[in-house]
Chain A
Amino acid sequence: MEKEQYQQLEQNVTPKPPYLKNVAKAFFVGGFICAIGQAVSLFYIIFFNFTEATAGNPTVATMVFFAMILTGLGLYKRIGQFAGAGSAVPVTGFGNAVISAAIEHRSEGLVLGVGGNLFKLAGSVVLFGVVSAFFVALIKYILVTIGVVSW
């Protein structure tokens, strides 16, 4: 069998991924996670002294905390399998990435296993977050200095 023939055969046999269905699942589960986040944010605004501007930090921390507990209990895996990017793109995906790496490398010891591999997946999130924040701030600073926009 030639290489092209094999590829032809493979393409015929492979089932087509249900793109539309996956997108809809990711949309609704991701939206649901964000709705919970909004509820947590409102909780901090109403019961504590946080404003709309300052409630972001504790909300993110709480959502990551929830995701970490769900990961530890093995429930976040199921959400991830069902919703795909819908569960990975919100900040809860970050908590999941941290804790699942920690669980995976627990057998290698606390320092070199858990400590060394904790940010194996999430490290890129932190790195690119910091770097992009730096460049956005730099661009804004230049724009403000020129006088195009104000702070």
Chain B
Amino acid sequence: MTLPLLVVLSLLNGCAEKEKFIVYGSPQNESEVETLIKEEDYVDRSTVIQYDDSMLIAVQIKPWEKWKKTKLEKKLQKKFEEKYPNKEVFVSADYKIFYEANKIKKDQMEDNKLSDKITELKELAKEET
């Protein structure tokens, strides 16, 4: 009887502790990026990786909004491209990209590997089959 209760409590606890909006990488206008994402209320969690002039924005969309996932992805992409015209912005709502972005942050990946990883993830996100 106590075991399920413990599991549920630990799960709930885990939700509360996690940072929902993360910006990682070369420090450029971090808080601005964060507020830009927070403006969009369909975004549940997000991780942004910045390196030189490329920008990887991995977002997780709230469950009921996921029907419009590709549309929201495009909308965010457009928004950020307009905001940062001199940057290479890439937005993805895929879980794999989000997971890998969080892993980059967790492992504190070095800069020389970072750009390779970002290009790799971009290619991965474009795969269709």
Chain A residues with a Cβ under 8 A of chain B = 42, 45-46, 49-55, 57
Q: How large is the interface on B (under 10, 10 to 19, 20 to 34, 35 or more residues)?
A: 10 to 19
CB distance from B37 to the nearest CB of A (A): 20
Mask for B73-96, Cβ within 8 A of A = 1, else 0?
000000000000000000000111
Question: Dominant SS at the A interface?
Answer: loop
User: Are B96 and A45 within 8 A (Cβ)?
Assistant: yes
Within the assembled complex, what's the spacing in Å between the Cα atoms of A46 and B125?
Answer: 14
Chain B residues with a Cβ under 8 A of chain A = 94-97, 99, 124-125, 127-129
User: Are A53 and B95 within 8 A (Cβ)?
Assistant: no
User: Are A45 and B129 within 8 A (Cβ)?
Assistant: no
Contacts of B94 in A (CB 8 A): 51-53
Contacts of B97 in A (CB 8 A): 51
User: Are B129 and A52 within 8 A (Cβ)?
Assistant: no
Given contacts A51-B94, A52-B94, A46 and B127 within 8 Å (CB-CB):
no
CB distance from B71 to the nearest CB of A (A): 10
